[in-house]
Amino acid sequence: MWSNIEYTHPQFLWFLILIPILALWYFFTRNKNAASLTLSNTAAFGKPSILSKIKPLLYVLRLLAISALIVALARPRITSVSTKASTNKGIDIVMAIDVSASMLAKDLKPNRLEALKEVAINFVNQRPNDRIGIVVYAGESFTQTPITSDKRIVKNTINKIQWGQLDGGTAIGMGLGSAVNRLKDSKAKSKVIILLTDGVNNSGFVDPKTATELAKELEIKTYTIGIGTKGTAFSPVSMLNGKLHYEKVKVEIDEELLKYIADETGGKYFRATDNTKLRAIYNEINKLEKTEIEEYKYYNYDEKYRSLVILAGLFLLLEMTLKFTVFRSFI
């Protein structure tokens, strides 16, 4: 209980030095204070009573009382600290993920989509204080998970993302537009979109630049990621007997558009050419978007000086009681 004790006025503890000095003073002067009587023979008085031997107990009680009062003057108290974190400066994040057939290309292992899912789940684990939503798009787009603080739901959603959910094509404008729509009513201090694609905008009825203007107007920062190696990659080109047929295909990413979206909204463009680079990109975004957490500390003080004053009073009371009762004949 006394392990975390502190003293409001610790300078008073220096007076404890007086206690051994007073004890020594009593030891050397106790015989001088007693009345003396010269006798030729003390045989008639018998042996000294045991009470005379323990009479110094009275002075010990007085020293204990003085010690308790000195410590009480130092105001000892036990401090307990409780903390409460507030995340009212959190970030709302929407991840807009391309799920077109080209995301099955094998230039990332085992393919682009699976590599992304692993990295995205790790990113979610590093954002415990933020709300996250998931938008998927190909030739069209839809919200897979609205913005939520339940990371279990978000991670389950990412795990279940697969190719074939939407019509073919790459509608970057629609993917960005859906993400903006998710964030437009957000009350968060900061709103962020992470838009990932491996292709060129070739479908959808929303112009990517129009969606960019909306994001800019709503102060939604957008980080864009172009995923795919430079050159060619084994990508699905057809379906034969229920199985995808892969061939070497030139990797085409509209980097100019992705840079435009990032620059206009205050974000940043990245190119992920392999698994390591993809992980590094999400780690960098994680560092760039810091959530401000306010921590409040509450201090609870349990004052102990009162019990010491009471203890000192009990010592003095015991001394006086013994002095005028048991030891009365020796005073």
- Range with lowest mean pLDDT among 52-61, 136-145, 153-162: 52-61
Question: Does the pLDDT value for residue 259 go beyond 60?
Answer: yes
pLDDT in tens, 95-108: 999 999 999 999 99
Residues 217-241: pLDDT tens digits? 999 999 999 999 999 999 998 887 8
Strand ranges (DSSP E) for the chain?
5-7, 76-89, 91-98, 131-137, 141-148, 190-197, 220-227, 232-240, 243-250, 269-272, 292-303
Mean pLDDT of the chain: 87
For residue range 108-149, what is the model confidence (pLDDT) as tens digits? 999 999 999 999 999 999 998 899 999 999 999 999 999 999
pTM, two decimal places: 0.65
- Separation of alpha carbons 216 and 99, rounded Å: 25
Can you tell me the distance from the alpha carbon of 150 to that of 93, in angstroms, rounded to the nearest whole number?
13
β-bridge partners, 233: 249
Residue 249 — very low, low, confident or very high, per pLDDT cuts 50/70/90? Answer: very high
CATH 3.40.50.410-classified regions of the chain: 91-290
Confidence of residue 45 (pLDDT cuts 50, 70, 90): very low
Per-residue confidence at 30, pLDDT binned at 50, 70, 90?
A: low
Residue 77 identity = R
Fold of 91-290: Rossmann fold (3.40.50)
Q: In degrees, to the nearest 5, what angle opens at C-alpha 94 toward C-alphas 91 and 96?
A: 155
Confidence of residue 175 (pLDDT cuts 50, 70, 90): very high
CB 225 within 8 A of CB 119: no
